[in-house]
């Protein structure tokens, strides 16, 4: 790990992230001012609805900001700190008592210089200043002082989840949910006249579609049983999925999300799909069966989306749990999901053959492989009325990467074919910083086009409102 | 589709596309002024020679600017307008009578905001102002007014194809032609003392090389019959191709173009190639046979280029007619050719083994997959005297993409190893806007290198003339 | 080849390579001034230790600057000059006598305009001015004059290799060496009290691991014999490799380098590996055996690195000797190694499963395929404490490419996870220009982040020292 750097005051400059050229910056500032105050629309993310329903105070700083955020723990781990020193791994780790949280927090503060230049570091910096009112950046020296300051804040009524939700100006927040989730928290929030926000569930059936998942067989049994109509086998399975989607629609869901290995899609006839399903249920499916069945089920999900109107989002291309020993010790989502190359053009063709021009079907394609932006996603979204280009995701949700994205897709697909910003986060307090980052980058990109006389400044003012506010409402049918 | 935006006056600013920094812009402006008035050299495109030979007035605005241009129709289609509402699909569509053309034109004008930020939108904007003298941009409100204004222009003598050819300052325009085309229009133009331009045919034998093409067998019979020398079988086929190439050379052709699936090349011995050929002629070729035979025929085309001097251009990497139902209803070239990843390094090796250093052989490699620019094309062109890097093509023929191209290839291959600009268009009236865009981007790129003290300003003035004017003449042997 | 351009005075402007914006440039200049005078750390390169040990005057200009540098000869070759006119190919070429060297030099000077915009041209330009004090750039007209000027310099005592080593302010220079090299030059230099620099060997066992190498069998016999302990077979082979690594460690080596086709890694059990080894020794290995065995031996090299502490560097993804006829006539390293696409995520997993978190293990991953920077290398280095991202290499060791690299990796992995600059050169006199280029680009990148208020200027001053000086020491255990 590098030597600790001199602590710097946190400077959240009003011109942060804008281009350096004074003329372009003036335009960017003006464009950003147009959208700065607009409400946050978050159509895809991982905040737990129960947090808002229960409205308990957030736990200590480490449990809020470090341990559960694999964007943060992976960087410190790369710097040489074992994950159990960051609170992962339950009893064997440091999580739990106050003393342990302080130790985790000190590890985080000591590692702070590693975050310079990263998107996570930038969000945390904004969060510290704008949410918690800190005036200095973390360091080994001030770790305890900052811990106490944040802890004190977390006990104030203004820092309860619902108060922050309002403070953050969130209008819509979508969660990500198991198909068999009863959605009680969502229901309670919707029924609560004291809570004005919209907290929407998202149907995420990965563990019911991927037959290699250790729980797949058990999940499928529970799924079919949940339908309670006596139907069984492949037909019952499909019907039960349709039923649960309806349940989600009735509870406000607007989209179904799919975390798949590759973007492969495939249409099987019912007999063949049924045989595959039964083979899997009997525990006799091969690796190839797994790929074929998942590709087919993605096709089926598209078919259901055409029927029930749920927007379909696809998140492929991540090698999950890359480091076996870490997965065994600490479980999934611990920072070692590593992207690989994907190819969309051939993979989504079977699906698009049948549904590419289907009325009101929306298919949002995300990628961790930047090469497909100009090569595949912009051309696909530039022809198919159903296809939208997903906003830069995960490792690509960062200032430079977002500028590369806009540059890569706009000349082919314009501004109307992308999804609008998606924060995709489980870090509730980072939501304002993430959306503000995106708005500043949109302003920066448009400002350059204005300065280069490629669009007029008036038109850019209309476009930034469309991109920030109208696009997510339109694409996610909000 | 997004809400219509406030109509903006079309501002074709003299500094358009130049970098925002005032110092760099000053240099770019000066560099551009050096090449602004140079004649247009267009060594690869899809304008029909008969249009210039016959010199009839262009049809109505929709039939000129919308219906035949899949760059334009695909964007409107993605916005939710079916292709038959844009004049595609013959009798079932809107094409034909004046009333229908107006409806198509209104659809286009209403969709105008979708083009903001796209290359097509930028070209159309230039075209409207510089060719047709319009002062306002299209909108649902002014659609009929603009239709009438353009229609009136099209009846003026100054808007006849040959007059525009002269007005556009085109010196060389290459068309793309079927090997059995008699090239009568080219001959007539060459023989007409009243027409000063050079309109050159290009030999494009895809449908005679790709045995999966529905017309391949019939094409091959016609090809062999055309030779009229009694030779048949594989040897006759090769001889007939050689004969037609000679015919093209005699009619002024300087290049042979190949729209292939992948850049694969392969040398088969004559016996094996002959067996494959006969299997294909008997309708018994497999999908693998198709790939092997095409790869071999590309090798043969290189061999013939070495012999007859035709520059060889390769355009791989597009999944043609991606959406089956659209292809069935509207045919090819209707906006759903979608790129995919290509790999040149291994694919072109068999060809380069034998011809990579052949005297006067020119092989121009194009790509829709930007990743090969720095990884493969610049290193190949930076060693093989025969290899030139094709200008950014199709989806990549756009300001930001062209800057990325120059940045990706120049540090390895310098300025002398790329093809010079190729407009590749069937939209005749867009030719000046496309070439001017390229010249502005070349000026912008060079201006940055000057400002960063990487080349001298005097040298940049020499280089931009070389890149814009001398390179296409040199690479295409004009 | 293009027409010769007007000769320009060489202007090595003090602001060269800095961004054009005056505000950003001011910051870049200030950052660069912080590191401009720091010693050069060169942990990976191809200079011959004997050159420094023997300290003979360098030969003539062509033999110093043209013939041995395939970065230079390939560009002139692409311009149409056969390699034998550049001194390659021994007796059949121009190398040797003074008259021939002058002819080679004239070919180089005549081709000078081809280097405009290339990284090689930029380095040569710096070298001519800063090392040789030339005031004009090469041209056909002044070729002989420059030849004489450089020749005269090369006879001055100040131009002896050791004097230049000191002049260049090199602190550490690593060479690349055959495992059976006795390292006598390294030993002599280390023992010489008059020589203050560190010249370190690097263990490079490619030709002992790749069973397809023509010398593999002979190499293995010599390797096993060198151990002299009577052990033989696969176990003896491993033991001998371990022994030679120890020998290198004892002679100051800090790293082992691997030029592999792909980044594949694989763990075989000893019995299986042994069978493969014997099959190869018997000359009966298949192409697949070659891949499997190399992947396994890369795994073994990682295992040995964990044990003996040598930093492991991986250089995959180049199709070596792409043009067969050139290889046959001129041998390897003659300018036609062409990169291709690589995928690291799956390939290095077997190795990282076992050693990814091993104490003090350092694995530096290089690439010629830029797409893996953001997609794979930054995520890998952003989790695994062992993984470092190799600096932009070979074709990517150029100003724009280095900026793209920083933009691609920093937002995910920060500044602490990259290797620091590697010059990887056999062109001794280009070393200062290469390191200065890198320092200017680091300054330019950081200056932009400062100007965009993403990091503070004080922090940037700390980071540039870390990146330029501390990182290579830390990563290469210097």
Residues 6+ apart with CB under 8 A from B394: B318, B339, B368, B424
3-state secondary structure (DSSP) of residue A311: strand
State the Cα–Cα distance between residues B332 and C390, nearest whole angstrom.
Answer: 46
Residue A327 is predicted with a pLDDT of: 96
* Partner C contacted by A332 (CB < 8 A): no
Residues 6+ apart with CB under 8 A from C332: C320, C321
Residue B293 is predicted with a pLDDT of: 97
Closest approach of A416 to chain B, Cα-based (Å): 6
* Partner A contacted by B316 (CB < 8 A): no
Per-residue pLDDT tens for C270-297?
999 999 999 999 999 999 999 999 999 9
Residue C140 is predicted with a pLDDT of: 95
Instruction: Give me the helices (H) in B251-389, please.
Output: 270-281, 287-308, 324-330, 349-355, 371-372, 378-381
pLDDT greater than 80 at residue A471: yes
Task: Answer yes or no: do B416 and C16 touch at CB < 8 A.
Answer: no
Rounded (5°) CA angle A370-A373-A379: 160
Residue in A21, A122, A324 closest to C353 by CB: A324
Residue B8 is predicted with a pLDDT of: 62
Residue in C17, C322, C337 closest to B349 by CB: C322
Per-residue pLDDT tens for B134-191?
988 999 999 999 999 999 999 999 999 999 999 999 999 999 999 999 999 999 999 9
* Partner A contacted by B158 (CB < 8 A): no
Spatial CA neighbour of C18 closest among C7, C31, C3: C31
Closest approach of B187 to chain A, Cα-based (Å): 37
Name which of C418, C454, C471 to mutate to probe chain A: the one with the most chain A Cβ atoms within 10 A of its Cβ: C454
Banded model confidence at residue A1, pLDDT cuts 50, 70, 90: very low
Domains of chain B, with CATH numbers? Answer: 57-159 (1.10.2020.10), 162-475 (3.20.20.140)
Name which of B23, B75, B78, B261 to mutate to probe chain A: the one with the most chain A Cβ atoms within 10 A of its Cβ: B78
**H or E segment at B225?**
helix B216-227
* Partner B contacted by C262 (CB < 8 A): no
Residue B12 is predicted with a pLDDT of: 74
Residue B4 is predicted with a pLDDT of: 52
ipTM of the complex: 0.96
Task: Give percent of chain C with pLDDT exceeding 90.
Answer: 93
Closest approach of B332 to chain A, Cα-based (Å): 14
State the Cα–Cα distance between residues C265 and C297, nearest whole angstrom.
Answer: 8
Residue A95 is predicted with a pLDDT of: 47
Residue B382 is predicted with a pLDDT of: 98
Residue B92 is predicted with a pLDDT of: 42
Residue B11 is predicted with a pLDDT of: 63
What is the number of residues in chain A? 478
Query: Quick check: A342 and A369 in contact, CB under 8 A?
Result: yes
Per-residue pLDDT tens for A59-109?
999 999 999 999 999 999 999 999 999 999 865 444 455 569 999 999 999
Torsion angle, alpha carbons of C295, C299, C304, C307, to 10:
170
Spatial CA neighbour of A468 closest among B122, A460, A408: A460
* Partner C contacted by A371 (CB < 8 A): yes
Half-sphere exposure in the Cβ direction for A115 (13 Å, CA): 23
Task: Give percent of chain A with pLDDT exceeding 90.
Answer: 93
| CA C218 vs CA A17, A256, B8, B398, C417: distances in Å | 59, 61, 76, 55, 39
Closest approach of A390 to chain B, Cα-based (Å): 16
* Partner A contacted by C262 (CB < 8 A): no
Residue C6 is predicted with a pLDDT of: 62
Please tell me which chains touch B, using 3 or more CB pairs under 8 Å as the contact test: A, C
Q: Which residue has the higher pLDDT, A9 or C331?
A: C331
Per-residue pLDDT tens for A137-179?
999 999 999 999 999 999 999 999 999 999 999 999 999 999 9
For chain C, give percent helix, strand, coil, nearest 5: 55, 5, 40
Find chain C residues with C-beta within 8 A of B407's C-beta: 400, 404
State the Cα–Cα distance between residues C354 and C312, nearest whole angstrom.
Answer: 15
Closest approach of A287 to chain B, Cα-based (Å): 25
pLDDT greater than 80 at residue A265: yes
* Partner C contacted by A4 (CB < 8 A): no
Per-residue pLDDT tens for C126-158?
999 999 999 889 999 999 999 999 999 999 999
Half-sphere exposure in the Cβ direction for C155 (13 Å, CA): 5
**Mean pLDDT, rounded, for B231-239:** 93
**H or E segment at C339?**
strand C338-339
Banded model confidence at residue A10, pLDDT cuts 50, 70, 90: low
pLDDT greater than 90 at residue B2: no
Residue A36 is predicted with a pLDDT of: 97
Residue B227 is predicted with a pLDDT of: 87
Residue C284: other Cβ atoms inside 10 A: 9
Residue in C8, C75, C340 closest to B458 by CB: C8
Residue B6 is predicted with a pLDDT of: 62
Closest approach of C286 to chain B, Cα-based (Å): 20
Say if residue A3 is exposed, middle or buried (CB neighbours under 10 Å; 0-12, 13-18, 19+). Answer: exposed
Question: What number of C-beta contacts closer than 8 Å exist between A and C?
Answer: 152
Spatial CA neighbour of A6 closest among C455, B190, B99: C455
pLDDT greater than 50 at residue A430: yes
Task: Answer yes or no: do A412 and B118 touch at CB < 8 A.
Answer: yes
Banded model confidence at residue C250, pLDDT cuts 50, 70, 90: very high
Residue B230 is predicted with a pLDDT of: 80
**Mean pLDDT, rounded, for C73-88:** 96
Per-residue pLDDT tens for A129-142?
999 999 889 999 99
Find chain A residues with C-beta within 8 A of B369's C-beta: 371, 375
Residue A97 is predicted with a pLDDT of: 55
Structure tokens at C207: 């030709």
* Partner A contacted by B342 (CB < 8 A): no
Per-residue pLDDT tens for B69-128?
999 999 999 999 999 999 998 654 444 555 699 999 999 999 999 999 999 999 999 999
Structure tokens at A6: 């001199």
State the Cα–Cα distance between residues B167 and C452, nearest whole angstrom.
Answer: 46
**Mean pLDDT, rounded, for C398-411:** 98
Which phi and psi angles does B161 have, rounded to 5°? -50, -45
Spatial CA neighbour of C179 closest among C213, C153, C151: C213
Per-residue pLDDT tens for C409-454?
999 999 999 999 999 999 999 999 999 999 999 999 999 999 999 9
Residue A99 is predicted with a pLDDT of: 63
Please tell me which chains touch A, using 3 or more CB pairs under 8 Å as the contact test: B, C
Residue C228 is predicted with a pLDDT of: 82
Q: Chain A 422-451, CB below 8 Å of chain B: which residues?
A: 448-449, 451
**Mean pLDDT, rounded, for A9-16:** 79
Find chain B residues with C-beta within 8 A of C21's C-beta: 21
Q: Is the dihedral of CA A383, A385, A386, A389 positive or negative?
A: positive
Banded model confidence at residue B471, pLDDT cuts 50, 70, 90: very high
């Amino acid at each position: 790990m590098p030597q600790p750097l001199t602590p710097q005051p946190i400077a959240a400059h009003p011109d942060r992230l804008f281009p350096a050229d004074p003329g372009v910056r003036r335009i960017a500032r003006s464009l950003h001012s147009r959208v700065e105050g607009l409400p946050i629309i978050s159509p895809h993310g991982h905040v737990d609805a129960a947090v808002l329903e229960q409205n308990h105070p957030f736990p200590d700083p480490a449990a809020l900001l470090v341990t559960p955020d694999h964007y943060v723990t992976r960087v410190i781990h790369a710097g040489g700190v074992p994950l159990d020193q960051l609170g992962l791994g339950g009893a064997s780790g440091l999580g739990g008592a106050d003393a342990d949280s302080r130790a985790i927090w000190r590890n985080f503060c000591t590692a702070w210089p590693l975050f310079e230049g990263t998107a996570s570091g930038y969000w945390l910096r904004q969060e510290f200043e704008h949410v918690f009112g800190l005036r200095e950046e973390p360091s080994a020296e001030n770790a305890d002082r900052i811990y106490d300051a944040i802890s004190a804040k977390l006990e104030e009524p203004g820092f309860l989840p619902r108060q922050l939700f309002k403070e953050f100006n969130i209008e819509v927040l979508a969660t990500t949910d198991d198909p068999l989730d009863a959605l009680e928290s969502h229901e309670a929030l919707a029924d609560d006249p004291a809570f004005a926000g919209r907290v929407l569930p998202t149907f995420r059936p990965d563990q019911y579609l991927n037959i290699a998942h250790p729980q797949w067989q058990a999940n499928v049994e529970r799924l079919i049983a949940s339908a309670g109509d006596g139907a069984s086998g492949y037909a019952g399975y499909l019907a039960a999925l349709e039923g649960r989607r309806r349940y989600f629609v009735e509870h406000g869901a607007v989209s179904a999300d799919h975390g798949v290995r590759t973007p492969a899609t495939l249409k099987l006839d019912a007999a063949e799909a049924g045989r595959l399903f039964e083979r899997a249920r009997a525990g006799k499916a091969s690796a190839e069966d797994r790929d074929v069945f998942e590709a087919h089920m993605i096709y089926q999900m598209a078919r259901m989306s055409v029927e029930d109107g749920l927007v379909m989002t696809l998140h492929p291309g991540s090698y999950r749990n890359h480091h076996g020993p870490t997965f065994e010790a600490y479980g999934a989502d611990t920072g070692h999901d590593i992207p690989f190359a994907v190819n969309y053009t051939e993979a989504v063709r079977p699906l698009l053959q049948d549904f590419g021009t289907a009325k009101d079907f929306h298919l949002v394609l995300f990628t961790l492989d930047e090469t497909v932006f100009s090569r595949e996603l912009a051309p696909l979204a530039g022809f198919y009325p159903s296809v939208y280009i997903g906003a830069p995701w995960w490792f690509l949700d960062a200032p430079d990467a977002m500028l590369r994205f806009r540059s890569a897709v706009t000349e082919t697909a314009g501004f109307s074919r992308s999804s609008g910003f998606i924060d995709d986060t489980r870090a509730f307090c980072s939501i304002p910083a993430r959306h503000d980052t995106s708005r500043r980058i949109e302003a920066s990109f448009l400002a350059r086009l204005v300065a280069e006389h490629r669009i007029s400044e008036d038109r850019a003012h209309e476009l930034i409102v469309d991109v920030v506010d109208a696009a997510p409402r339109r694409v996610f049918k909000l």
